[in-house]
Chain A
Amino acid sequence: MWFSTGSRRLTRVLGWLAALGLLAGLVLALGVAPREVSQGDVQRIMYLHVPSILTAYLAFAIVLVASLGYLVSRRQAWDRWAGSAAEIGTLFTGLTLASGSLWGKPTWGTWYLMLRGMIDEAERRAQFAAVLGIVAALNIPLVHFSVLWWRTLHQPPTLLRPVPAALAGIFRFTLGVNWVAFTLLFAYLLAKRIRVGRLSEEGLP
């Protein structure tokens, strides 16, 4: 089949690139980048946190597009994209749990996947998941701003604050490398997850 040769090789290349990128990002984040003056070494968590949350945003953007695509075309492939991207997006939001307390956000994906798990019939599952995916994805900016405003009255959201322009080049470079590495990892995992879904025919659980 068409995906078994060309795209499998591409997936493998993606996997190696992601592994290399992650390694480089790790060395930069823990070794090369200097200690940040005001926050100390704990600031190094940002190199993990910010790429994770950006990757999660990317994942839920894909959920939105794929959900719309499914409702318009009713092709099962769109549903597989939406379900796979949501699963991996949830994984990446989960990573930010360890590095920052952005409550409310780790729930995005979990309840989407919960609904999927509760409907057995493939077509109905795809329809409802598409509606839920659209609601969840469009809700993300609202959640983001409301949590930000709500928190700023108590404490400045340090880790979420955009990187100041004055930040030295090495910080931005480290962040950039990690971001690219996480995006590559996401693409690799997504390709693999979609392939698993396609092979197991019944669609995603």
Chain B
Amino acid sequence: MRFVRRAWILAWKDLTIEWRAKETLNSLFFFALLLIFLFQFALGPDRERLSAALPGLLWLGFILSGLLGLGRTFAGERDNDCWDGLRLAPGEKSAIYVGKLAGNLLLMLAVEAIFLLLFGVFFDLDLVAALPGLALVVGLGTLGLAAVGTLFAAMTAHVRARELLFPVLVLPVEVPVLLGTVKATEAVLLGEPLGSVAHWLKLLAVANVIYLTIGVLTFDVVLDG
């Protein structure tokens, strides 16, 4: 219970800062908008080609915006010299991981919801029918992205060239998550039942369990480094 409280306090702190400054949210919103314009220009008016590329484009947008947000997970602590405060916080260090992860997850899901809405408007998608399946797939994929991203963000927080190193470290790990989510999103948007992609969903679930376990167990090592 105290573990959950500690994690929640940290997530609440981060979300409050974000809510007041809207630093990340604003830039990610405009980033999403720009990406959608870019996609439209790049693919042209051909509907058929568009719908074939849509799941990939959607996840490309999620990942690019996600990486931008995740890379800044510890920016506040780093820039304001609060890193030691974080390290010296009482209790288990993994609560910090869970708190940061929860904050990241909420922020990413908010951006992804906006992104989906824009996608639906610009590309004329029927999102309502696909929504339950889409929510499951996006939730699983985002968790996989955030679990690794939060851990690696702490790792690269004090490494030189971290802006470059962070995506280079995260993306190769996310290969299974990306393949799984793109395939599952494709099926969901085509109106197929979730059972047809059950093996991908299981893979995503297993990946999330592995990433979360490693994150929780190794975070005190990463934070001390």
Whether A127 touches B224, Cβ cut-off 8 Å, given contacts A104-B175, A119-B159, A150-B183, is yes
Partner among B148, B168, B175, B214 whose Cβ is within 8 Å of the Cβ of A143 = B175
Residues A114 and B165 in contact, CB atoms below 8 Å apart:
yes
Q: Is A10 an interface residue (CB 8 A)?
A: no
Whether A131 touches B165, Cβ cut-off 8 Å, given contacts A104-B172, A138-B210, A149-B200, is no
> Residues 115-143 of chain A: 1 if any B CB is under 8 Å from the residue's CB, otherwise 0?
10011000110011011101110110011
Residues A136 and B222 in contact, CB atoms below 8 Å apart:
no
Q: Is B169 an interface residue (CB 8 A)?
A: yes
Which residues of the other chain, B, contact A150 by a CB distance below 8 angstroms? Answer: 179, 183
Which residues of the other chain, A, contact B169 by a CB distance below 8 angstroms? Answer: 111, 114-115, 132
Q: Is A107 an interface residue (CB 8 A)?
A: yes
Expressed in whole angstroms, the minimum distance between the Cβ of B170 and any Cβ of chain A is 9
Q: Is A71 an interface residue (CB 8 A)?
A: yes
Expressed in whole angstroms, the minimum distance between the Cβ of A82 and any Cβ of chain B is 14
Q: Is B99 an interface residue (CB 8 A)?
A: no
Expressed in whole angstroms, the minimum distance between the Cβ of A16 and any Cβ of chain B is 37
* Chain B 135-172 interface residues, beta-carbon cutoff 8 Å to A: 148, 151, 155, 159-161, 165, 168-169, 172
Expressed in whole angstroms, the minimum distance between the Cβ of B217 and any Cβ of chain A is 9
Give Cα A130–Cα B220 distance, bound, in whole angstroms.
13
Residues A107 and B172 in contact, CB atoms below 8 Å apart:
yes
Which residues of the other chain, A, contact B45 by a CB distance below 8 angstroms? Answer: none
Residues A127 and B225 in contact, CB atoms below 8 Å apart:
yes
Partner among B160, B168, B224 whose Cβ is within 8 Å of the Cβ of A114 = B168
Which residues of the other chain, A, contact B134 by a CB distance below 8 angstroms? Answer: none
Give Cα A150–Cα B180 distance, bound, in whole angstroms.
8
Expressed in whole angstroms, the minimum distance between the Cβ of A53 and any Cβ of chain B is 16
Which residues of the other chain, B, contact A118 by a CB distance below 8 angstroms? Answer: 159-161, 165
Give Cα A79–Cα B203 distance, bound, in whole angstroms.
30
Expressed in whole angstroms, the minimum distance between the Cβ of B141 and any Cβ of chain A is 12
* Chain B 161-210 interface residues, beta-carbon cutoff 8 Å to A: 161, 165, 168-169, 172-173, 175-176, 179-180, 183, 199-200, 203, 206-207, 210
Give Cα A139–Cα B173 distance, bound, in whole angstroms.
7
Give Cα A134–Cα B38 distance, bound, in whole angstroms.
38
Give Cα A119–Cα B168 distance, bound, in whole angstroms.
15
Q: Is A145 an interface residue (CB 8 A)?
A: yes
Expressed in whole angstroms, the minimum distance between the Cβ of B221 and any Cβ of chain A is 5
Q: Is A7 an interface residue (CB 8 A)?
A: no
Expressed in whole angstroms, the minimum distance between the Cβ of A123 and any Cβ of chain B is 8
Give Cα A22–Cα B165 distance, bound, in whole angstroms.
38
Whether A142 touches B214, Cβ cut-off 8 Å, given contacts A115-B169, A118-B165, A150-B179, is no
Q: Is A147 an interface residue (CB 8 A)?
A: yes
Q: Is B218 an interface residue (CB 8 A)?
A: yes
Residues A111 and B207 in contact, CB atoms below 8 Å apart:
no
Give Cα A135–Cα B159 distance, bound, in whole angstroms.
19
Give Cα A190–Cα B122 distance, bound, in whole angstroms.
55
Give Cα A124–Cα B159 distance, bound, in whole angstroms.
10
Give Cα A204–Cα B199 distance, bound, in whole angstroms.
40
Expressed in whole angstroms, the minimum distance between the Cβ of A155 and any Cβ of chain B is 16
Q: Is B211 an interface residue (CB 8 A)?
A: yes
Give Cα A128–Cα B224 distance, bound, in whole angstroms.
10
29 pairs from A and B in contact (CB 8 Å cutoff) = A71-B221, A104-B175, A114-B169, A115-B155, A115-B165, A118-B161, A118-B165, A119-B159, A123-B225, A128-B222, A130-B218, A131-B214, A131-B222, A135-B173, A135-B211, A135-B214, A136-B173, A138-B210, A138-B214, A143-B176, A145-B176, A146-B175, A146-B176, A146-B180, A146-B203, A147-B179, A149-B179, A149-B183, A149-B200
Residues of B within 8 A of A (CB): 148, 151, 155, 159-161, 165, 168-169, 172-173, 175-176, 179-180, 183, 199-200, 203, 206-207, 210-211, 214, 218, 221-222, 224-225
